[in-house]
Amino acid sequence: MRSNNDTLVKLQNAGYQLNNKFLVEGVSLEVQKGKIVTLIGPNGSGKSTTAKIALGIYKKIEGKVEKYTDKIGYVPQKISIDWTLPIRVNDFMLLTDNIGEQQINESLSLTGVLHLKNKNLGNLSGGEFQRVLLARAISKKPELLVLDEPVQGVDFTGEIALYQLIKKISEELNCGILLISHDLHTVMSATDHVVCLNGHVCCSGSPTDVAHNHEYKALFGEQASKTLTIYEHKHDHVHTNEGDIKKN
Amino acid sequence: MFDDFFIRALFAGIGVALVTGPLGCFVVWRRLSYFGDTLSHSALLGVTIAYSFQFNIAFSVFIISALIALILIQLQNKTNLPGDALLGLLAHSSLAVGLVVIGFLSFIRFDIMGLLFGDILAVTVDDLLIIWIGGLLILVVLKLIWKSLFASTVNYELAEAEGLNPDRAKAIFTILMAAVIAISIKMVGLLLITGMLIIPAAMARNVSTSPLQMVFYSIIGGLLSVILGLYSSLEFNTASGPSIIAASLFLFILSLLKIKQTSGLKN
């Protein structure tokens, strides 16, 4: 049952097993319009698997998944482009949807990579590629965004800017976001709901609740629960992609 | 106009090249060259069945190749043998069975060289019709599944997540592969069909910067290979298949010069 009209995807006791071994089990969560749900957990704790269950990539699953939207933008954890395939950023933007020129330019500007539009995808750096992936996912104005470590390899200032962008997108498009992140700072500052995984759901709730949960502390250490006091500092300038410095 | 065997062969070759161009790109992108080999080896079985039961060759080859493709997909899901071993198993066993069946059909005169390497003298007006109508159908279907097939070639999970149904596209593409082998067997011969798929596409990769450009150059490369190959086949009295493939190899080598140039500029 759809609990309310804002629900985009709902997992009930969901799990997935490979070779008779559960990668993740017993996950229940719900992503609603305009809300950000973040999955955290150590390597191999089933974060990506949970995202793939929610997306319907895995077919033979335990439990139940209900999806109420087809407008989905996905940033996978890893994409490798084979050399045999010549593909420019612009071609990649059109991969799953026929969006207009203006929409492509807008999205690429938002993530700061408009100048790469005609570059070959295989020649981008890791951080540039992540920005293109994110631009592609948001360009189709999705109702549900699933972002699997979307800022990996992005430089530190870029990372903060991209997380702010993600937050802004969820507000502007009123889309629900399922975010996978290992960056506890961001998780605690920009998330509505946190699910802490370790093969199963360790704990879940608001960032504050989770930070004080003892299982969370056991998993990430005492230090992690102090991340609530977010380190913030103000810049009086920003660096544009052309390398100029712009005063605020 | 089609009274002349050479004109028939030329039009047949052009029809084949128009189809192998785009399909060949996917073969290269999806690393299916050995898969193409397997299907074309199994085509011999299709040919022998056509002779035994007086079927149309293209039709019979299409059915057998599609069947082998389905068996392959089943085997991939059911056994733990690696993909290349399964492909080899099917390729050689179907080739062997095909040859054994030929042994039993001693009452029919077989032009085995023609089967393996193509024969321009053998192209009839009926073959032309099959190539052009079949080729057109293949291209229309490819256009329909293009988006889904291309997206899943780039990344399967992305395509699946965003609702493009990559499994269906893959299944349809497999059938298209069987179909292209069926229509090109008379021209290129079953041992060399994969070459016709791969070499123009590989050539195109060296000179392209976008997927559509690669498809375009792949078609151009295929057409040039057919024209060059057929004329030299006529001139030197060589089999049509090897002549066409040799011509495409020549174009591929030329394209290497271009790639050397561009990579030199970049550094």
Contact A96 B157 (CB under 8 A): no
In a domain, A160, yes or no: no
Site of tokens 């596409």: B201
Residues 160-189 of B with CB under 8 A from A: 160-164
Query: Which range, of B62-76, B111-125, B171-185, averages the lowest pLDDT?
Result: B111-125
Does residue B136 have a pLDDT over 90? yes
Contact A95 B151 (CB under 8 A): yes
Does residue B265 have a pLDDT over 50? no
Domain count of the fold of chain A = 1
Does residue B147 have a pLDDT over 90? yes
Q: Which residues of B touch A88 (CB under 8 A)?
A: 209-210
Nearest CA in chain A to B207: A86
CATH number of residue A207's parent domain: 3.40.50.300
Could you please state the CATH topology (level 3) that the domain comprising B5-191 is classified under: ABC transporter involved in vitamin B12 uptake, BtuC (1.10.3470)
pLDDT at B262: 60
Contact A96 B164 (CB under 8 A): yes
How many angstroms separate the CA of residue A188 from the nearest CA in chain B? 27
pLDDT at B105: 82
Nearest-CA neighbor of A41 among A169, A201, A152?
A201
In a domain, A115, yes or no: no
pLDDT at A153: 85
In a domain, A42, yes or no: yes
Does residue B264 have a pLDDT over 70? no
Does residue B35 have a pLDDT over 70? yes
Q: pLDDT under 50 in chain A at which residues?
A: 228-235
In a domain, A36, yes or no: yes
Contact B211 A86 (CB under 8 A): yes
Say if A218 is an interface residue toward chain B (CB within 8 Å): no
pLDDT at B234: 86
pLDDT at A229: 42
pLDDT at A231: 36
Q: Which of B151, B153, B157 sits opposite A57 (nearest CB)?
A: B157
- Domain boundary assignment for chain B: 5-191
In a domain, A1, yes or no: yes
Contact B211 A146 (CB under 8 A): no
**Enclosing domain of residue A28:** 1-71+144-149+178-229
Mean of pLDDT over chain A: 85
Averaged over B139-153, what is the pLDDT? Answer: 96
Q: Count other Cβ atoms within 10 Å, centred on residue A206.
A: 12
Averaged over B148-169, what is the pLDDT? Answer: 94
In a domain, A128, yes or no: no
The 10s digit of each residue's pLDDT in B204-263 is 999 999 999 999 999 999 999 999 999 998 899 888 889 999 999 999 999 998 776 665
User: pLDDT grade, residue B83 (50/70/90)?
Assistant: confident
In a domain, A2, yes or no: yes
pLDDT at A244: 61
